[in-house]
Chains A and B, each alone.
Chain A
C-alpha cells in the first residue's frame, strides 16, 4: 500500500512536468497549427542555462527560473520571427515540420558540441533533503518544483483568461482571419505565443535540474511526452493538457510498479496510439 501511495506521489510530481510541457506545446499548436518538434530540446536548453547560472554565477536553481524563462522567451521570439513566420507563408506542412525538427537537431547537437556528452547535475545544499509524510518520502526539490509548477500553471490560466494579450491569443487560435479582421496583429501574437511556449519548456527544464541529469538529449523523452499530452488532452485545450500530463505521469509509475519498469515506455506509447486511434474513430463516426 505504501508502495502504491509512493508511486502515486511520484507519478503526480512527474506528471506536473508533462503538463507544463504539454501546455506550452498546446498553445503553440492551438495558435499556429504546427507541432513544435523541438519542444524537448527547449527544455534541455533551459536545463543547461540553469546549469551555467548555478555553476558560474552561483545562482540558486529556483532563483534562476525567472531568468531562464525570460531568456527562453527571447530565444523563442527570435526563432519565430526569423524562421517560422516566413515559412508559415509557404503553407507547406512538411517544411514546417522539418523546420522544427531541424531546430531540435541544431539545439541538441549544438549542446553536444559546446558541452560534450558528459552527464552533468546540480547539487545544492538541500538537494538531498527528504521529507516524510506518512508512508511517503519526497525529496525537497521535487516538492518545491511541483509547487512552482502549480503556481506557473495557475498564472498561465489567469493570463489566457483575463489579460488582453491572453484573450488575443485565444482569439487567434480560434479564428486567425477573424482575429486579423478585428485588428489583432496576428504576427505579433505568433511571436508572443512561440516565446511563451518555449519559455514554459525552459521553465520546466530549470525546475528539473536538481533531480534529473543534464545531457544534450535529455529533452527528447519530455518532448515526445509533451506531444502525447497534447493529443490525449485535446489539441488546443489547456485544462485537457494539464489533466493529461498528470494522467501520463501516473500511467508511467503505475505500469512500472505493476508490470515492469522496462516496459513503462512501451506501455505509454501503446496507450497513446490506442487512445488516438479510438478517439479519432469516434469523432469520424459521429460526423
Chain B
C-alpha cells in the first residue's frame, strides 16, 4: 500500500510540473506583446515539429533523411495551390497536403528501402533536389517566383491573421499534438519495431518484423507531419517559393533533434527551444555585419554536442546529477521496481 501511495505521489508531482510548464507557454502571449519574440516562439514550434517528424525516421528508425525540407515544401505547395487554384478552405487543403506528401513519399521510397545505410540518405537528398527542380521548371508551380496565399481580413475559417497570437496557439497545439502522437508510437508495437530496425535489420527480421513495411510506415507518417508543418508555414508566412526546399533547410530541420538528443521523443523540442532563439538572436543582431553568423553558431554547437555529448542534451541530462536531484527531491520518483509493481497491479485492476 505504501508503494502504491509513492507511485501516486510521483504521478501527481509529474502532472503538476508538466502542467506548470504548459501553463507558462499558454500565458506567454498575454505577457509578451512583442511580435518579434512571439515570432521566435512560433518558429520554435514549427521547427521542433518538423524536427520531430525527422526524428521518427532518423532517431527512432535509424534512417537518416536529409530531405525533410522537401516534404515540408511539398506540403506547403499542395496546400497553397489547392487554395489558390480552387479556392478551397485552407483547413481542407491542409489534409490534402498531408495526404499528397504521404503518398509521394511512400511511392518514391518504396523501391528505395532495399537500400541500407548511407544510400537512403543520398536518395533523400536527390529526391529533395529533384522536387525542387521540378517546381522551378514548371509553370503550374509558379516556377522560381513561388506562390502567395490571398490576403484579407482575420478569420479562423481561412486561418489568416495579422496578429501572431493565433499562430502561436495553433503552433503550440500542433507541436504538442505531434509530440503526443510520437510518444504513442514510441511506446507501441510500431515503436519497438522501428527501434529494432534501427539497431539491426537482420535482428529485426529474425523476430518477425518486416523491415520494409515498417520503414514505409515511418517514412509516410514522417512526411505527413512535415507536410502539416508546410501547411502551417504557408499559412503563417503566406508566401512560399522553392528556396524553402534547399538542402540547407533540410539540415536545419535535423539540428534540433541531434542537439536535443535524437534517441528521445522530447529531443527535438528541447533542441528547438535552445537552438532557435539563439540563432534568431544572432541573426537579428549580427547578420547585417556578419552574414551567416547564426548558421556558423549552429555548426559549432552541433560539432561540440556530437564531439562531447554524443547522446545530445537530453542524453546528457538523463545521466546527470541534476536529473537524480529532480527525480528524488521534486518529483519523489520511486524505484523502478516499485513503478513496475504498480503497473502490474494496474493491469490486474483493469482485468477485473
* Binary flags per residue of B239-276, CB closer than 8 Å to A gives 1, else 0: 00000000110010010001000100000000000000
CB-contact partner of B310 in A92, A216, A224, A284, under 8 A: A92
A281 at the interface (CB under 8 A from B): yes
Q: Which of A94, A112, A272 has the most CB of B within 10 A?
A: A94
Assembled-state Cα–Cα distance A103/B299 (Å):
7
A206 at the interface (CB under 8 A from B): no
B190 at the interface (CB under 8 A from A): no
Known: A87-B306, A87-B310, A280-B115. A93 touches B291 (CB 8 A): no
Residues from chain B with a CB closer than 8 A to the CB of A113 are 290-293, 296
Contact yes or no, A277 B111, CB < 8 A = yes
Assembled-state Cα–Cα distance A216/B299 (Å):
15
B119 at the interface (CB under 8 A from A): yes
Contact yes or no, B119 A280, CB < 8 A = yes
Residues from chain A with a CB closer than 8 A to the CB of B119 are 231, 276, 280
With both beta carbons as reference points, the residue of chain A lying nearest to B116 in the complex is identified as A280
B171 at the interface (CB under 8 A from A): no
With both beta carbons as reference points, the residue of chain A lying nearest to B301 in the complex is identified as A102
A263 at the interface (CB under 8 A from B): yes
Query: Shortest CB–CB separation between residue B223 and chain A, in angstroms?
Result: 16
Contact yes or no, B117 A93, CB < 8 A = yes
Assembled-state Cα–Cα distance A277/B133 (Å):
20
CB-contact partner of A262 in B115, B136, B251, under 8 A: B136
Known: A83-B307, A98-B258, A277-B111. A93 touches B64 (CB 8 A): yes
Residues from chain A with a CB closer than 8 A to the CB of B248 are 105
Residues from chain B with a CB closer than 8 A to the CB of A103 are 299, 303
Known: A112-B292, A231-B122, A280-B114. A262 touches B299 (CB 8 A): no
Residues from chain A with a CB closer than 8 A to the CB of B290 are 113
Known: A93-B117, A102-B302, A281-B114. A263 touches B133 (CB 8 A): yes
Contact yes or no, B62 A94, CB < 8 A = yes
Number of residues from B at the complex interface, CB < 8 A: 44
Assembled-state Cα–Cα distance A91/B62 (Å):
13
* Binary flags per residue of A256-287, CB closer than 8 Å to B gives 1, else 0: 00000011011001101100110011001000
CB-contact partner of B296 in A110, A117, A224, under 8 A: A110
Contact yes or no, B291 A98, CB < 8 A = no
- Mark the stretch among B33-41, B96-104, B124-132 that contacts chain A: B124-132
Known: A87-B310, A262-B137, A265-B129. A94 touches B300 (CB 8 A): no
Contact yes or no, A281 B129, CB < 8 A = no
B295 at the interface (CB under 8 A from A): yes
Contact yes or no, A216 B306, CB < 8 A = no
Assembled-state Cα–Cα distance A270/B131 (Å):
10
Contact yes or no, A273 B258, CB < 8 A = no
A90 at the interface (CB under 8 A from B): yes
Instruction: List B76-99 residues whose CB lies under 8 Å from chain A.
Output: none
Instruction: List B120-159 residues whose CB lies under 8 Å from chain A.
Output: 121-123, 125-127, 129-130, 133-134, 136-137
Known: A117-B291, A277-B112. A87 touches B123 (CB 8 A): no
Residues from chain B with a CB closer than 8 A to the CB of A94 are 58-59, 62, 64, 258, 262
Known: A94-B262, A105-B295, A266-B130. A86 touches B307 (CB 8 A): yes
Residues from chain A with a CB closer than 8 A to the CB of B262 are 94
Query: Shortest CB–CB separation between residue B8 and chain A, in angstroms?
Result: 38
CB-contact partner of B111 in A109, A262, A281, under 8 A: A281
Residues from chain B with a CB closer than 8 A to the CB of A177 are none
Contact yes or no, A105 B302, CB < 8 A = yes
Number of residues from A at the complex interface, CB < 8 A: 45
Instruction: List B274-315 residues whose CB lies under 8 Å from chain A.
Output: 290-293, 295-296, 298-300, 302-303, 306-307, 310
Assembled-state Cα–Cα distance A273/B122 (Å):
9
Residues from chain A with a CB closer than 8 A to the CB of B295 are 105, 109, 112
Assembled-state Cα–Cα distance A204/B302 (Å):
28
Query: Shortest CB–CB separation between residue B328 and chain A, in angstroms?
Result: 30
B118 at the interface (CB under 8 A from A): yes
Assembled-state Cα–Cα distance A265/B128 (Å):
12
Assembled-state Cα–Cα distance A238/B119 (Å):
18
Contact yes or no, B122 A35, CB < 8 A = yes
Contact yes or no, B133 A269, CB < 8 A = yes
Residues from chain A with a CB closer than 8 A to the CB of B64 are 93-94, 97-98
Assembled-state Cα–Cα distance A284/B113 (Å):
11
A160 at the interface (CB under 8 A from B): no
Contact yes or no, A93 B115, CB < 8 A = no
Give me the 10 closest cross-chain CB pairs, A-B, nearest first.
A112-B292, A105-B299, A106-B299, A266-B133, A102-B302, A109-B292, A109-B296, A109-B295, A269-B126, A269-B130
Binding site for A on B (CB under 8 A): 58-59, 62, 64, 66, 111-112, 114-115, 117-119, 121-123, 125-127, 129-130, 133-134, 136-137, 247-248, 251, 254, 258, 262, 290-293, 295-296, 298-300, 302-303, 306-307, 310
Task: Provide 14 A-B residue pairs closer than 8 Å at the C-beta atoms, listed in order of the A residue.
Answer: A29-B118, A34-B118, A83-B307, A92-B310, A93-B117, A94-B62, A101-B302, A102-B306, A109-B296, A113-B291, A113-B293, A216-B292, A263-B133, A277-B123
Q: A269-B133, A273-B130 are in contact. List 9 more A-B contacts (CB 8 A).
A: A87-B307, A93-B118, A98-B302, A99-B306, A109-B298, A112-B296, A228-B122, A266-B130, A266-B134
